[in-house]
Amino acid sequence: RLFHQARHNQLTGLPNRHAIGERLDELLTQVRSHDGDDRRPGGRAAVMFIDLDRFKVVNDSFGHASGDHLLVRFAGRLQNLVRQGDFVGHFAADEFVVLLDDVHGLDDVQFVADRIDAALDEPFALDEGHIYLTVSIGVALADRTSTSESLLHQADAALFEAKQLGGDRLAVYDTAMQTRAVEHLRVDRDLRLAIEQGDLELHYQPEIDVGGGMIVGAEALLRWQHTDRGLVFPKDFIGVAEDTGLIVRIGRWVIEEAVRQVATWRRLAGHEDVWVSVNLSARQLTWRDLVPVVAAALRDAEVDPDALMLEITESVLIDDAEAALHVLGELKALGVRLAIDDFGTGFSSLSYLHRFPVDVVKIDRAFVSPLGAPDGSPVAAAVVQMARALGIETCAEGVESPEQLAALRTLGCDVAQGFLFATAVPAADFVELLASAPRW
């Protein structure tokens, strides 16, 4: 009994990491011993690394008991899907492994993957309701030089690639994947150190009242002062933060720091109504402590709730509209302002906009860029007109020329931001900008 417990996951009952390694060693020994033996036309061995997409959301939303129940149910399905002779194991947390024997090509791997996908068309029944799952799969094929350790690393690198591409897909290992996986680990390590050392900072891009030309707010944009690489922009590390869960810790700091800053701005004469806007990621919107953290930040800074605007992209609203509606309702009840960022780039804008308690839509730069040209931007004009009919303000992003600003004034757009006015600057520089009271 103790021997069995040492080799099996206590939750799902599947072979654990130790047993997976032993079985893989056996398979690789068979591959090497029969390689080139025409009397045994068997195939190669392969490793499938399987990860449940968005499993942490289930844990965060419904609790660990429901998450454990989901793992058990998934493990049961997985065992019934593989071919005879294949080996199923529970590697760690929400990661499972299938060891495939007698693989003659990727078609054999795809056959198993297709069966898994088909089985996931049926939802899993939890106490909280029915849950649909998708999985990401990383695959590595063995050769004569493979070891169990190298093959598991390769399958893990392929899994990372599948997750980076958005999940719900299969990726087969190649050497470039390992390089990208190593870079991911390096960024993760450096980012954790940056958080501890206080190397993250916020820069602020002014938002201008189109009618009066004065600064009325600012968007807080995250920057990383890397010891060796200098200033690092979010596109180079936010993806890693999302993957590792660091985004929640970073997001909390961003909210608290931005609220502290806007509290100081509002004490400047003539800027009592200035606001700061902060971007929320999809991961943050599912964070159960989001509303209490926002409330505490406002209370600690002793600033009115309308000093904070929270921005959510269209895609986040489209992906899980009901969950987003609930959280946004709670945030709106606090008195903070809500904005939809990159408006117009999604596919359901008109059908859902009236459902959400939105104060501002930010028109994507792609629709602002044509303004000032002879043909103008029908999309920007339509968004401004529609928003006005719904009692929603508009903010144009990416304004770079006086002609674009003039066109926005003609359309009746409320607020604008872009390089015409200023790039994002550190907090101290933004205070100087406010104090100088420029007018455009």
Give me the tens of pLDDT residue by residue for the chain, a chain 440 residues long: 677 778 899 999 999 999 999 999 998 988 777 665 544 445 689 999 999 998 888 887 788 899 999 999 999 999 998 888 899 999 999 999 999 988 888 899 999 999 999 999 999 988 878 888 999 999 999 888 889 999 999 999 999 889 888 899 999 998 888 788 788 889 999 999 999 999 999 999 999 999 999 999 999 999 999 988 888 899 889 888 987 889 989 999 999 999 999 999 999 888 999 999 999 988 888 888 999 999 999 999 999 999 999 999 877 776 667 778 889 999 999 999 999 998 866 544 566 677 889 999 999 999 999 998 888 788 899 999 999 999 999 999 999 999 999 999 999 999 999 999 999 999 999 999 999 988 99
Q: Phi/psi of residue 408, each to 5°?
A: -65, -35
230-232 and 215-226 beta bridge pairing: antiparallel
pTM for the model stands at 0.70
Q: Please give the radius of gyration of the chain, using alpha carbons only, rounded to the nearest integer.
A: 26
Span 199-436: which CATH code? 3.20.20.450
The one-letter amino acid code at 300 reads D
Tell me whether residue 228 is exposed, middle or buried, using C-beta atoms within 10 angstroms of its C-beta: 0 to 12, 13 to 18, 19 or more.
Answer: exposed
135-141 and 124-126 beta bridge pairing: unpaired
- The residue extents of the domains of the chain are 2-173, 199-436
Could you give the CA distance from residue 136 to residue 109 in angstroms, rounded to a whole number? 14
Identical fold for domains 2-173 and 199-436, yes or no, is: no
Angstrom CA distances, 63 to 59, 128, 159, 222, 324, stand at 5, 10, 25, 31, 19
Chain center to CA of 201: 20
The secondary structure of residue 49, as a DSSP letter, is E
278's tokens? 């902060």
Question: Largest Cα–Cα distance in the chain?
Answer: 89
Tell me whether residue 34 is exposed, middle or buried, using C-beta atoms within 10 angstroms of its C-beta: 0 to 12, 13 to 18, 19 or more.
Answer: middle
Quote the pLDDT of residue 44: 84
56's tokens? 């942490």
Tell me whether residue 105 is exposed, middle or buried, using C-beta atoms within 10 angstroms of its C-beta: 0 to 12, 13 to 18, 19 or more.
Answer: exposed
Could you give the CA distance from residue 35 to residue 216 in angstroms, rounded to a whole number? 72
Helix (H, G, I), strand (E, B) or coil at 240: helix
Angstrom CA distances, 171 to 88, 166, 313, 417, stand at 19, 11, 28, 40
Quote the pLDDT of residue 41: 47
Instruction: Please choose, from the candidates 204, 209, 208, the residue with its C-alpha nearest in 3D space to the C-alpha of residue 219.
Output: 204
Angle of helix 402-411 versus helix 378-389 axis, rounded to 10: 40
* Domain 2-173 bears CATH identifier 3.30.70.270: yes
Could you give the CA distance from residue 156 to residue 352 in angstroms, rounded to a whole number? 39
- Asked if residues 240 and 281 have their Cβ atoms less than 8 Å apart, the reply is no
Tell me whether residue 258 is exposed, middle or buried, using C-beta atoms within 10 angstroms of its C-beta: 0 to 12, 13 to 18, 19 or more.
Answer: buried
